[in-house]
Structure 1
């Protein structure tokens, strides 16, 4: 005879959600989701990036803290992961465009610190490179329009 489950057994099952519950393309976040926990910083400090969304591109680099709130910084990573999930699941977007858009998005959303400076200078995509990216994307027909914010100065040689 089945006597049912105890309330604490039911509570334990509430927290068990299968990895595929969010649909195709979803990648569950691991411990890197809260990469700033335990780190003391002030706005303007450069901290080694240990997040998930830009791991491939920003591994070994530091990003400038732009908010006192850790949640604001975590939101950047979550929003980037969501955008990348959309881009990676779109069948009309080429692999080259996916790679370029990921790199540009990481550079745009995080202020990447210049390792050659005193730690207070950020790198930016120069106008020439930014425009070349826009032209390539437009030629490929991957995206109807781009919304890159190009800067006049080049900080990457």
Structure 2
């Protein structure tokens, strides 16, 4: 755990108590790919490669670097909240404010948590206010909501 990533453990504790119980079931590999694809399309994030790791001990993670853009999903992490958490890191990387957090070594900062809360609310059908209140109870900082804008590439006439 990086010292710059000051709230990483608080985010993990918040998710373990408040988010993971909502959808604690294993997804198939095809279901994971479909969930990642839907989330990336909704957030305007490029769809990554997904690598499945047959392990119960290796961490799940988003891997972003020169020539690498993928999600590593271990067997233990094939649940909707874990897949959405890792995919939220891709949305963080695509977001200018989120990228600044990442460049500072803050992988679980306020911008990431805002993205994760919005993603959990959308995909796990939980009220945003409930997720924000529970995050606050865990002393997890999150960025303010941003104004919603229309993606004109999705407008149909």
TM-score of the superposition, structure 2-length normalised?
Answer: 0.28
Q: For the pair shown, which has the larger CA radius of gyration, 1 or 2?
A: 1
Bigger proportion of residues as helix? 2
Bigger proportion of residues as strand? 2
TM-score of the superposition, structure 1-length normalised?
Answer: 0.28
